[in-house]
A and B are shown apart, each in its own frame.
Chain A
Amino acid sequence: MSTINTWDDLNKAAKRGLARLLPAKVKIVVGMATSGIASGAQAVYDALAKEIANRGLDIVLSKAGSMGMDCIEPIVDVIAPGKPRLSFSKMTAKMVPILIDRVVNGDLNGIQPAYRMDEMELLLQGEKKAYFSGSVPVDCSGIPQINELPFYRKQVKIALRNCGMIDPENMDEYIARGGYTALHKALTTMSPEDVILEVKTSGLRGRGGGGFPTGTKWESCRRAEGEIKYVICNGDEGDPGAYMDRSLMEGDPHSVLEGMIIGAYAIGAHEGYIYVRNEYPLAVANLQHAIGQAREAGLLGKNILGTGFEFDIKIAKGAGAFVCGESTALMASLEGKAGEPRAKYIHTVEQGLWNRPSNLNNVETWANVPVIIARGGQWFSGIGVKHSTGTKVFSLVGKINNIGLVEVPMGIPLKDIIYEIGGGIPGGRKFKAVQTGGPSGGCIPDTMIDLPVDFDSLWEAGSMMGSGGMIVMDDKTCMVDIARYFIEFLVSESCGKCVPCREGIYRMNEILQDICAGKGRRGDLELLGRMAEAIKDGSLCALGGSAPNPVLSTIRYFRSEYDAHIRSKKCPAGVCKALIQYNIDKEKCTGCMACAKKCPVEAISGERKKAHEIDQAKCIKCGVCMETCKFDAITLS
């Protein structure tokens, strides 16, 4: 790799990159983020490599991160000259020869693409590049365009602009899409104060959970006294079911690096750390690779872009403690101490890592920075709503049809995310609630489906934005059990430093377990409410301070469900095992014995063609019989 010192050097790299993004010969791209690999993308990639070699084809094989629609992975994209980019979903190794037949011989009968892309958006340049010239080829006109799909229609990609579009290991491709031009602009035409002003104008707020204005944070850190300052990237994503940052680090590591270099310039820092959990091996590898490339090109190190600015980044791998996502605990862990938070009366921008001024932002926040510098703060603030500008990435998981990573403008109604982008609830079931903000967020009920999704609206609804987890629940979900689940998670993740969090959440869990086991007592809800207030007030850090949220929000919106558990000893959703019983309806049972064969504990007895019976003493309430029965003969009471 040659050194990048000037605008010309950047242009040369961009040309090289563009030749890869819009190749002169056929190119096949496999989505190889963790989400892709988990669905078998590696086998598909290997099969493609083998098929191309066996047939002696002149086809470029490449990889990319995730486009977001993880429920249809592995996804393979074919870019052929004069054609739209075509995406094939749910690929398997067996389908590879058929795909190659289509690509090489034009055999359109075999495998059909899920969608097509006619042009690619170059967000930083504010332009679009078509994959072909002229009108859409006849054989492609019937394929839906990506932005016609409900999943993508309302999405606006800023942070995820490159994920799935570039090979994360290829810096030229990143540069071809405007990468490092924002850094060039900042370092050669803007003062650090200009950069801070631009970020302030954008209205960008921290995407890690706190929602603190990023520009203001940078300004405080710049003003803080101290020769040595640090910038830190928080990649310790720990919410169950959330993987926004992982996908970004895997699919577009340079955007995080570029954001950090710009931030370091604005603040006056020369050292940076990326704290990323070791359970993210691909993110670590891709970041490491990107740092190596940036160093080699002179975009990290001494004299960046020939301006004399010096900055370098190290990766620190975390051991996976949820609490280490809290900034002061993260910094303690970086120092080699136990990951325990401290009170933040002295801000970390003044005394953070090794008691020096430290500016910490989350992965997604950093990835937004190059776009803000390239397009301007004013442009950015035009997206979203007044106090929540820009977009937010959410991981949409749980009881939802389109599971995946979505990026939407702030303020979008919740129902658009659930029903349009998410495609509604599987099996035609009813939407019940959505948990936002991770385990210490809150549950938003179906009655609030019109709620605009932004920092302040979520907060008023008793939940929070958090880092962007969105767990969708259907009517078969017990809200008491959900609260118990999240509290149990927090019990095991509390660092144990302060009493309200360590002991308080533990006791809340005890009571919730009792309620789920039919041992709830009158007064439990009042006690939980009182405990919740005291734990919120009295905890040392935000983990404890927000830990009672799942309990408070479920009591607030689903009180009758708690009452049913406590007073009537019933679980209306049919989840809490101690409160439910499976029975066989003798009228409906045909005696087919299917359930008896499937029952793992042999609790079902009965002769063929005669009604069966469940031995309640043996039954473990797994529900397999109910799933098995074709005659609706199993009832739940």
Chain B
Amino acid sequence: MVNLVIDGKKIEAETGTTILSAARDNGIVIPTLCHHESIEASGACRLCVVEIAKGGRKRIVTSCIYLVEDGIVVDTKSERVLGVRRLVLELLMARCPESEVVRNLAEELGVKTQKRFKPDKDKGKCILCRLCVKTCEDIVGVSAIGLSFRGKDKVVGPPFTEDSKACIGCGACAYVCPTGHIEMTTGNGGAERTIWGRTFKMAQCSVCGQYFAPEDQLQYISNKTGVPMENLTVCMNCRL
């Protein structure tokens, strides 16, 4: 166990936990956008930065990655921390003017739109948090989408922005996206699902007749687990 102080509160945390989770376990709120408890942290959004004092030296660290240490004093709302958070939100509002999630978070934290920044028109709601990419790679295991280009041109999508043959249409990327940037639509009375420009045929539940999963996804599960396809014909609701 490790003893530390966060915002004046004495806290005991397990060795190996991050400052972020130690804070949240103790009811201290640190805002995040690119963090998800099931996905390895990348530290991309920088909203979760905190200031730590250690051995007389103060510095800004990323709380979603930085592990708790004995004796450190953490300030989650110092002037420097708020300076970073304010700028990050101002920048994200300029990048994604249509994102309600970003706007609401900014409002919650008292950050106003920075009018000096010319709003982007081509970025949609994508803040490049890379949760979708990591989900597709680490959780689903298909790596159908990735990041291409660098800097301001960086973009999420299938390789060469062509229809991805690897995509199984599972929609996990759309599910995990914090801002709702990834579009997934249902068509033909539920018989089709379109995501990343590709349309998938949905399988029908053999019990209730509902469309419940893309056929490609069931095939992928069958291949991966060895469960025959004929055992994957019942939807979650009917299985319960």
Chain A residues engaging chain B, CB cutoff 8 angstroms: 321, 323, 338, 342-343, 345, 491-500, 502-504, 506-507, 510-511, 521, 523-524, 527, 530-531, 533-535, 537-540
Contact = CB atoms under 8 A, between A and B. Distances in A.
B46 interface: yes
Contacts of A538: 46, 49, 60, 83-84, 87-88
Contacts of A338: 147, 150
Contacts of A524: 116
A500 B91 contact: yes
Contacts of B49: 537-538
Contact of B116 (A492, A521, A534): A521
Given A495-B150, A537-B83, A538-B84, A503 B91 contact: yes
Interface stretch (B61-69, B208-216, B220-228): B61-69
B80 interface: yes
B116 A511 contact: yes
B87 A531 contact: yes
A537 B80 contact: yes
Interface centre among A491, A494, A496, A510 (most CB of B within 10 A): A496
Interface of B: 42-46, 49, 60-62, 65-67, 80, 83-84, 86-88, 91-92, 94-95, 114, 116-118, 127-128, 147, 149-154
A499 B150 contact: no
B152 A494 contact: yes
A491 B152 CA distance: 8
The 7 nearest A-B residue pairs measured at CB:
A496-B154, A538-B84, A503-B91, A534-B87, A494-B151, A496-B151, A537-B60
Contacts of A491: 151-152
B152 A496 contact: yes
Contacts of B147: 338, 496
Contact of A343 (B62, B88, B150, B152): B62
A502 B117 contact: no
A321 B149 CA distance: 11
Nearest to A545: B60
B121 to A, nearest CB: 14
By secondary structure, the B interface counts as mixed
Contacts of B45: 498-499
B128 A502 contact: yes
A503 B95 contact: yes
Given A503-B94, A503-B95, A498 B117 contact: no
A540 B87 contact: no
Contacts of B84: 500, 534, 537-538
6 contacts: A499-B127, A503-B95, A534-B87, A538-B49, A538-B88, A540-B44
Contacts of A530: 83, 87
Nearest to B83: A534
Nearest to A544: B46
A511 B61 CA distance: 28
Contacts of B94: 503, 507
Given A345-B61, A527-B116, A530-B87, A496 B153 contact: yes
A496 B128 contact: yes
B130 to A, nearest CB: 8
Contacts of B150: 321, 323, 338, 493-496
A329 to B, nearest CB: 11
B43 A540 contact: yes
Nearest to A493: B151
B87 A535 contact: yes
Nearest to B86: A534
Nearest to A492: B151
Nearest to A507: B117
Contacts of B80: 533, 537
Contacts of A502: 128, 151-152, 154
Interface centre among A492, A523, A530, A537 (most CB of B within 10 A): A537
Contacts of B86: 534
A494 B91 CA distance: 15
Interface centre among B61, B67, B118, B150 (most CB of A within 10 A): B150
A503 B92 contact: yes
Given A342-B43, A538-B60, A499 B91 contact: yes
Contacts of A494: 150-152
A496 B149 contact: yes
B46 A498 contact: yes
A491 B153 CA distance: 10
A470 B84 CA distance: 31
A493 B149 CA distance: 11
A580 to B, nearest CB: 25
B46 A510 contact: no
A440 to B, nearest CB: 14
